[in-house]
Amino acid sequence: MTVRVVVADDQALVRTGFRMILTAGGADVVAEAATGAEAVDAVRRTKPDVVLMDVRMPELDGLEATRRILTGTAAAPRIIILTTFDLDQYVYAALAAGASGFLLKDVTPEHLVAAVRMVQDGDALLAPAITRRLVRRFARPDPQTATLHRDLATLTRRETEVLRLLAGGLSNAELAAVLHLSEATVKTHVARILAKLNLRDRVQAVVVAYETGLVSPGSPED
């Protein structure tokens, strides 16, 4: 199945380059957008699978555009945030809002195509070291986080353990090795955690683990 993509960036050269790369990789770029407002409108019109969203755009930035796209619909596309540097508070906020990951704009063509395919398949674009560094830099314990669809008390003891290790950046294979479980069982635990906490993917799970205080900077899992 061909993946349908919207490319949102205020630089025409970036949009054109990404369109060429994605088209050559077999994707269908169904729309381009130069502002956040145009991105929201393009998503509503074309119903893409994936959105490449520049985090800083005029009129409406990528963060607010992400929030509007992901609010109120179960069929929302996966959003990959585009940024020029990884330690960006806007990127962190977008991940917390439900974006499936982020890419630096100097990404290689092969990595760009692979990233789009990955999030289309429902995986989070999670580079553990970078994501943990980003979350560690900007996450702060938030008392409201645990009450707004984030009630960790609904998790079993095993699920809480999985979430804590997940926040440490472990892959399913690494989780399985540490917990002496099969990868299939680990995937089931992760799926249940996401469902119970009303999260879209593993990236949000990392954010929630920090914001609820389950994991804190400097802890063994960090």
Crossing angle of helices 172-179/157-167, nearest 10°?
A: 130
What's the confidence (pLDDT) of residue 89?
Answer: 76
Q: Which fold has domain 146-212?
A: Arc Repressor Mutant, subunit A (1.10.10)
Domain range list for the chain: 3-125, 146-212
Report the candidate in 99, 94, 200, 216 with the shortest Cα–Cα distance to residue 164. Answer: 216
> What tens-digit pLDDT sequence spans the chain (222 residues)?
689 999 999 999 999 999 999 999 999 999 999 999 999 999 999 999 999 999 889 889 998 999 999 886 667 899 998 888 766 677 778 777 888 888 888 889 999 999 898 888 766 666 555 666 776 677 666 665 554 545 788 899 999 999 999 887 777 888 999 999 999 999 999 999 989 988 877 878 888 888 888 887 655 555
CA distance 200 to 69: 13
| Topology of domain 3-125, CATH | Rossmann fold (3.40.50)
